[in-house]
Amino acid sequence: MNKERAMDADAAVRHMRFGKLPERIRGEDMTAEVEAAPGAEGDTYTPENSWKFYSCVAFDLGL
């Protein structure tokens, strides 16, 4: 019987600490919409600069 009281006390402490779930966060609150500046660099593809982003082992080794 003494063990039951200890378990009840432990359960009460757990319930005080973890008994209530946190409030739900809406998807709208987790994202932020920001307009891009017109003519921002990086929004268009330029073939002349595409080699900067090319990654290939054969190319890196000069093969």
29: DSSP letter: H
Rounded Cα distance between 36 and 44, Å, is: 13
- Give the residue, 9 or 52, on which the prediction is more confident: 9
pTM: 0.28
- Find the mean pLDDT for residues 32-49: 71
Q: Is the pLDDT of residue 31 over 80?
A: yes
